Structure 1
Amino acid sequence: MAITDIMLSVLENSGLLPLWNLMAPWLALDERQLIFMVATPVFIAITAWEYLKLRHDPMLMDTHEAIRNFALGAGYQITEALFAGIIAFPVYALFYHYRLMDLELNWVSGFLTFLGVDFCFYWMHRASHRIRWFWAAHVVHHSSERMNFSTAMRQNATNIFNGGWMFYLPLALIGFNPVWIGVAYALSLVYQFFIHTTLVRQLPSWVELVFNTPSHHRVHHGRNPDYIDRNYGGTLIIWDRLFGTFTPEDAHNPPEYGITRPVYSNNLIVLWTHEYRDMFRDMAHPGALKSRLQHLWRPPEWERSDESSE
């Protein structure tokens, strides 16, 4: 008898087989991680090519920061690999168990999965800028004052604990297989790696109209007053055009990259946690509990008035 058969027999006798059937798909190899593993050598090669072109311009490239960006990305990948199966996958499995319809994978459902994931990404990304709890994790991605391919790798190891993955749960409840959702999400992130660059200027007008491009994403990373909290799209820019958050890049107003409250630290832990520290420090200031808790869901720039802190 195979080991798996013995395991299933034990689970059946203990009454835990239904739970195993619910969880088994998520305990296997995570397809998202597999995509990232395959893509990482490509990312490194493209980054090296860009580095050779930009290494003499400290405004565009810093060797130590580029290495640090990959270290930040590695921390993100490690916590995702270790904890996604414990935190996120059971919830997706539960929602999919109670799905409203059964969808077979074909070209139509595949396209709808891509479209749904990109739509959810827009709102997750928008929330990551306008809700401080989510911004506390996302801020590390914006804290570099340079825009290059290594910046795409600059991610927060706390993302899995932060809960941004919950924005995609409605897709599983509708009936989209969470494996498809994960694959579409991973492919979107692969695409987004390539829009973190200053080497590509404007693409053909029809591409700029429909897709997120390096030009659009440079705006997103700008801290210029006209550029802050604009162009949230993942693969597509149509959501920004539909919901009024689109701003084109202005050649007379080049983006100044970074955040409005810079954090100059080389410490990975500080880069990952500084906004959490500031948020909880603001919550600790005297005031009514309700007003103190508002720091969790208010925009990052929100401050309590004298009245709300009494």
Structure 2
Amino acid sequence: MDWNHWFELIRPFIGGEQVDWKQVLLTGMAPIFVLAFAVEYQYLKKHGRLQRFSWAAVRANVGLAVVYQLAEGAVHLLISGAIILWIYQHRLFDVPVNAWTIVPIFVAVEFCYYWFHRGSHRIRWFWSAHVVHHSEERMNFSTALRQSAIYSITGWWLFFMPLVWLGVPPGVVFFLYACDLAYQFFIHTETVGKLPRWVEYVFDTPSNHRAHHGRNPQYIDKNYGGVLIVFDRWFGTYVEETEPVDYGIPHQIHSNNLWTLNMHEFLAMWRDVLRPGALGQRLKHLWAPPEWQRADGIQQAGRGERLAR
């Protein structure tokens, strides 16, 4: 196969700098996601494993996905798209995009995703959005749809701006990021056990990702990779799935209300900021880890465990 010829065929589909290719690709994948979920459901039903399956949770996950898509598109159109394009206009280089560079660029996107995901667990500002995804108490393909409407507001896209500033076209960065996210849909499942050891060593797999979603103490804040798991191994954040996973966050939300799921931790964070106390301690709630407690003794819930009142 002539890889350069193949790449030239798809270049027009990822070349638009002002198009949010992440949302375009994920929306286009929707029929495949629905089909995969239907197959998974029938498999679980056939094997008598629907005990923890909840249609109410599935409906909430789909609702969250729709609101997420609309919010992402609106913020991109009104705010982030212009900022991203401005950064690209002030790029340092022109990084060539061809059949030889597309894989290294994808690995670089995956590297940025690792730090975005790690930051989303260890910085409360970003956790206030990401907690939505982890509030699910079950694991099936619909769990992958459980996304936050405030991701763009908290600034997930900032983690990918180094690549844009270096000179990778934004359309390419976000198309490849969408490929990363599309892959991750298929690792949100309990229907696939452990894969061959070399696969588990290199890639994020259903087993590795189940551990990531666990609230078991040994699983919390581990396995941040999207497609690859090697960065977790290199940076000390890898854990193997060794015991049944208890999904969710330490104190479960127990809600399918879209407003509560999207906003409970974001509002709780700001309530903590506004509580009386030293200004430095109050502001630290924005960037400290979710479980951080004030030195002045004024407590906060942390890690998204408090219900919105």
When the two structures are superposed, what TM-score results if normalisation uses the length of structure 1?
0.87
Q: Which residue of 1 is the match for residue 293 of structure 2? A: 303
Name the stretch that deviates more: 222-231 or 45-54.
45-54
Q: For residues 5-16 of structure 1, what are the structure 2 equivalents within 5 Å?
A: none
Contact 1:131/1:300, CA 8 A, preserved across alignment: yes
Counterpart of 1:232 in 2: which secondary structure?
Answer: coil
Counterpart of 1:101 in 2: which secondary structure?
Answer: coil
C-alpha displacement of 1:277: 1.6
Contact 1:288/1:308, CA 8 A, preserved across alignment: no
> What letter corresponds to residue 249 of structure 1 in structure 2?
E
Cα RMSD after superposing both structures:
1.7
**Alignment partner for residue 282 of structure 2, among 292, 296, 303?**
292
Any idea what the Cα deviations from partners look like across 1:17-52, whole Å, max 9, x if unmatched? xxxxxxx9544x432222112211100111111122
Q: Find the aligned partners of 2:205 and 2:227 in 1 and give their Cα distance.
A: 8
Contact 2:64/2:145, CA 8 A, preserved across alignment: yes
Q: Which stretches in structure 1 are left out of the alignment for 5+ residues?
A: 1-23
C-alpha displacement of 1:267: 1.0
Q: Find the aligned partners of 1:241 and 1:279 in 2 and give their Cα distance.
A: 31
C-alpha displacement of 1:57: 4.0
Counterpart of 1:90 in 2: which secondary structure?
Answer: helix
Q: Which stretches in structure 2 are left out of the alignment for 5+ residues?
A: 1-14, 300-309
Is 2:249 the counterpart of 1:259?
yes
Q: Find the aligned partners of 1:54 and 1:294 in 2 and give their Cα distance.
A: 45
**Alignment partner for residue 97 of structure 2, among 82, 99, 105?**
105
C-alpha displacement of 1:308: 8.2
Contact 2:139/2:188, CA 8 A, preserved across alignment: yes
**Alignment partner for residue 275 of structure 1, among 243, 265, 269?**
265
Is 2:27 the counterpart of 1:52?
no
Q: Which residue of 1 is the match for residue 197 of structure 2? A: 205
Any idea what the Cα deviations from partners look like across 1:197-229, whole Å, max 9, x if unmatched? 000001111111111000000000000000000
Any idea what the Cα deviations from partners look like across 1:158-202, whole Å, max 9, x if unmatched? 111110110000001111111100110000000000000000001
Is 2:102 the counterpart of 1:93?
no
Q: Which residue of 1 is the match for residue 64 of structure 2? A: 72
Q: Find the aligned partners of 1:271 and 1:278 in 2 and give their Cα distance.
A: 12
- Structure with bigger gyration radius: 1
Q: Find the aligned partners of 2:17 and 2:164 in 1 and give their Cα distance.
A: 13
Is 2:183 the counterpart of 1:191?
yes
C-alpha displacement of 1:261: 1.9
Percent of aligned positions that are identical: 47
Contact 1:147/1:197, CA 8 A, preserved across alignment: yes
Contact 1:60/1:148, CA 8 A, preserved across alignment: no
Contact 1:291/1:308, CA 8 A, preserved across alignment: no
> What letter corresponds to residue 244 of structure 2 in structure 1?
P
Counterpart of 1:181 in 2: which secondary structure?
Answer: helix
Q: Which residue of 2 is the match for residue 234 of structure 1? A: 226
Q: Which residue of 1 is the match for residue 172 of structure 2? A: 180
**Alignment partner for residue 115 of structure 1, among 98, 103, 107?**
107
When the two structures are superposed, what TM-score results if normalisation uses the length of structure 2?
0.88
Counterpart of 1:247 in 2: which secondary structure?
Answer: coil
Q: Find the aligned partners of 1:201 and 1:263 in 2 and give their Cα distance.
A: 28
Counterpart of 1:69 in 2: which secondary structure?
Answer: helix
Q: For residues 100-179 of structure 1, what are the structure 2 equivalents within 5 Å?
A: 100-179=92-171
Q: Find the aligned partners of 1:47 and 1:58 in 2 and give their Cα distance.
A: 13
Name the stretch that deviates more: 159-168 or 31-40.
31-40
Q: Find the aligned partners of 1:80 and 1:284 in 2 and give their Cα distance.
A: 28
Q: Find the aligned partners of 1:37 and 1:194 in 2 and give their Cα distance.
A: 15
> What letter corresponds to residue 152 of structure 1 in structure 2?
A
Counterpart of 2:192 in 1: which secondary structure?
Answer: coil
C-alpha displacement of 1:238: 0.5
Is 2:25 the counterpart of 1:35?
yes
Q: Which residue of 2 is the match for residue 222 of structure 1? A: 214
